[in-house]
Structure 1
Amino acid sequence: MSVMILLALPVNLVAIAVLAYAIYFVRHRRADLMFAFVALNVGVFAISALMFNQQVELAMAFGLFAVLSIIRLRSDEISQREVAYYFVSLALGLVNGIGASTPLAAVGLSLLLLATMYVADHPRLARGMEWRTLVLDTVHGCDQELRADLQRRLNGRVLRVMVNEVDYVRETMTVDVRYRRLAPLAAAPPDRANAVTVPAPFAAADR
């Protein structure tokens, strides 16, 4: 194993630790996917390092990226956000493995990928935004009634709604809705003027 690969290995491990734990797990709390991102990254780095030592053509490296990019975790449903983490984990392994000959470029690209994920997935960027697929127990005839019902059920302001399915036999409809949560109403303090004081019960006198 060359010296460049030995130098690239700790850079890659630090990068995937920051991505999988400090950014993803701290925000989304899924330990199974954090493990999957780390395992994928280290595996891709090992294969990339082997190709680097064997001086494999760059076309084969891109072929590996294309093969790995079509792999999906069939055992569990993952969101588009988690797919993005999946691809960045893969990209970090390739960047640090194949780019071991140019360590400054590899470090710079790793920092760029991490900074992109940190900013793009920051909670403040889409604060209060939610997405739901709902099955309603009624069929609405107009868009205004549908939006009013969704806003009442979700306690939020509906930004976009799409009807996926309407079942007139069961009187149900399936909708895809994007909305922004409303701040919960704070409990009003009791009015002192109208407050009723309940006297404490008298203790029975000793006989």
Structure 2
Amino acid sequence: MAQLALFLSDIAAVSLLVFGLYFRRHRRRDLVVAYLGVNVGVLAVASSLSSGGSSTGLGLGMALFGVLSIIRLRSTELDQHEVAYYFSALALGILGALDTGNIWRSTGLMALILVVLFIGDHPRMLSSYHRQIMVLDAALPEQTALVAHLEHTLGARVHAAVVQRVDMVNDTTVVDVRYRVTPGFQAKGGTTAHAEKTAGPANTATAVAVRP
């Protein structure tokens, strides 16, 4: 009876995680299938191994799912928030299969995972902070000029910039920019330049330290 209650708690928790939080905010259907499959798969295997009383088998089962998770995450491109949802679905499945002697602790931890994801992935959480991969129509290898250029282009305070490629022949710079948009921000200098998002691969990465 306790095991059934935990199973139902897991199904309710993962449904809320996937449909109430993830899909409602990000609308990626293929990961809905992945999250549900991972959760139910972990729940089934962990429950089967734990009911047999084999702690060694349970440990090996968890290690196997850990390896499979790493392979899965390396086989496709996932954003960091999607990785968080992935491992949350995994954790919910494990909590739903183990520790039947303390149902309230397991369900409380499930609730904690949902609350953390709800707050951490809320659209209003740090909403003024952004990240872009930008292509500038100027070769800017020098730190101060690059930061001034970016702040003038974005109209925002640049907190970090990682130069991925500087092309002195075609006069372009590819840079990963972390910045904050604040009303009334005025850049100290720089010239206007055309910039656009790009998904192109990085050739070389050079860290550029800027003022906090």
* TM-score, length-scaled by structure 2: 0.76
Superposition pairs for residues 48-59 of structure 1, below 5 Å?
A: 48-57=46-55, 58-59=58-59
Map Cα deviations across residues 13-72 of structure 1 (whole Å, 9 max, x no partner).
111011112122222222221221112111111111111221220533542343243132
Distance 2:141 2:112 in 1: 49
RMSD of the TM alignment (CA)?
2.2
Q: How many residues align?
A: 182
Q: CA-to-partner distance for each residue in 1:111-164, whole Å, 9 max, x for gaps?
A: 111112112222222112111112222112533332233234334322211212
Residue identity over aligned pairs, in percent, reads 38
Q: 2:19 maps to what in 1?
A: 21
User: Which 4+ residue blocks in structure 1 deviate beyond 6 angstroms?
Assistant: none
Residue 146 of structure 1 pairs with residue 154 of structure 2 = no
Q: Measure, in 1, the Cα distance between the counterparts of 2:45 and 2:4.
A: 14
Q: Which residue of 1 aligns with 2:166?
A: 166
Deviations 1:150-201 (A, max 9, x none): 23433432221121221222222221100123559xxxxxxxxxxxxxxxxx
Alignment map for 1:178-189 (pairs within 5 Å): 178-182=178-182
Q: SS at 2:174's partner residue?
A: strand
Where 1:100 maps in the other structure, the secondary structure is coil
Runs of 5+ consecutive residues of structure 2 not aligned to the other structure: 185-212
Matched residue, 1:109: 109
Larger Rg: 1
- What corresponds to 2:93 in structure 1? 93
Instruction: Tell me, yes or no, if structure 1 residue 41 matches structure 2 residue 39.
Output: yes
Report the Cα distance in structure 2 between the residues aligned to 1:94 and 1:23, rounded to whole angstroms.
20
CA contact (8 A) 1:51 1:98 kept: no
Q: Which moved more, 1:44-53 or 1:93-102?
A: 93-102
Q: Tell me the amino acid that sits aligned with residue 161 of structure 1.
A: A
Where structure 1 has 5 or more consecutive residues not aligned to the other structure, the ranges are: 185-207
Q: In the aligned structure 1, how far is the partner of 2:22 from the partner of 2:82?
A: 9
Aligned partners of 2:140 and 2:166 also within 8 Å: no
Instruction: State the Cα distance separating 1:103 from its structure 2 match.
Output: 1.4
Change beyond 3 A, Cα 1:116–1:66: same
CA contact (8 A) 2:45 2:61 kept: no
Q: TM-score, normalised by structure 1?
A: 0.77
3-state secondary structure, aligned to 1:131: strand
Structure 1 128/29 Cα, relative in aligned 2: closer, same or farther at 3 Å? farther
Report the counterpart of residue 83 of structure 1 in structure 2: 83
Q: Name the CA distance, whole Å, in 2 between partners of 1:12 and 1:162.
A: 41
Residue 135 (structure 1) aligns with: 135
